[in-house]
Amino acid sequence: MTTEEKTQKKTVDPSSLQVPESLPILPLHGFVFYPGMGFPLQIGSESSKKLIDDALLGDRMVGLVPGRKEKTTGEELDPDDLYRVGVVGYIHKLTKTDE
C-alpha cells in the first residue's frame, strides 16, 4: 500500500463493520470517547505510529482505551494501566506531518 493510499479518506457505514475478536490497543489520555464520535489524534510514540501503520494495512480498526496514567517515553503500559472499557476506532484518514 502506498503512502497516498494510506492517507486517502475512507467512507464506511459503521453498521457494516465486522469487529474482529482481537484488536490492537491504542492507549490514549485526556479524552472521553463515545461510539460514532469522530476526532483527530496526534500520535507521537514510535510504537503507536507502528500500530496505526499496521492497522492501515489491515482492517483499519484499533481499540481506543483510556489510560489510567500518562506513559513516559520508552515505558510500556501494563493492562492494569488501562481502563477496562473503550471503543472500536476506525481510521478514516492519516495525515503525516514533519513533527
- In terms of pTM, does the model score above 0.85? no
pLDDT tens profile 36-52: 888 888 888 888 899 99
The CATH number covering residue 77 comes to: 2.30.130.40
Is 55 a member of any domain? yes
Note the pLDDT of residue 76. Answer: 74
Q: Which domain holds residue 80?
A: 22-90
Is 96 a member of any domain? no
The 3-state secondary structure of the chain, one letter per residue: CCHHHHHCCCCCCHHHCCCCCCCCEEEECCCCCCCCCCCCCCCCCHHHHHHHHHHHHCCCEEEEEEECCCCCCCCCCCHHHECCCCEEEECCCCCCCCC
Our count of domains for the chain comes to 1
